[in-house]
Amino acid sequence: MDLKQVSLTLHEMKIEAKHYKIYKPFGMLSQFHSNAPKEKHKKQFLGELYDFPEGVMPVGRLDEKSEGLLLLTTDGELSYQLNNSGVEKEYWAQLDGSITTEAIDRLSKGVAIGLNGAIYSTKPCEAKILKHEPKLPEASKKLRIGRHRPSSWISIILTEGKFRQVRKMTAAVGFPTLRLIRSRIGTIYLNDLSPGQVEQIIIHSDSF
């Protein structure tokens, strides 16, 4: 095979990359397997949702107790770019208590959270109170959200993705997160996907 044929083959491989968006359910890990014996039998993994092609990988992660939009791709270069480009990610968070405008202002300017045993100051972000509760599937009963306790919903848009960042940020201003859903990555939205649903998508160069 000559150099021209190799170049063509690589070009064809790039075109054939497959991309998916899913609604990661509450209680599922953002990975396909685990080497820990206990996790293999007690945890849920992405491979249970769909017959994904070989080489597919999640772009970023959502922790086990978070839900919503997760992108998967067979394009390693795209995955690297999205994880390192500061693309916007929007989250809807249901908080314990009625959050104040002062707390929203603090979130927007950045707060100090614990990260890897040190103190980290989060970057400025967009945060606002949602006037109406988002239309979402029923929350998992494992969340034990009190019906008789006041709660509030916020939208928060980050350009970074530290471990459990949203949860740590809302706790830092006195309003722990009860339920967390990622609704958008760049221009790709969760829309009306149901928990566990998988949709193959086309990703354009201007999607992020």
Positions annotated as catalytic residues are 63
7, 98, 185 from 85: Cα distances, Å: 27, 33, 12
Region class of 97: left (phi > 0), else alpha (psi between -120 and 50), else beta: left
- The structure tokens 């070989």 sit at 54
Q: Is 51 helix (H, G, I), strand (E, B) or coil?
A: coil
- Angstrom distance (rounded) from CA 72 to CA 49: 12
Alpha carbons 60 and 128: distance in angstroms, whole number: 24
Angle of the 101-109 helix axis to the 165-172 helix axis, nearest 10: 130
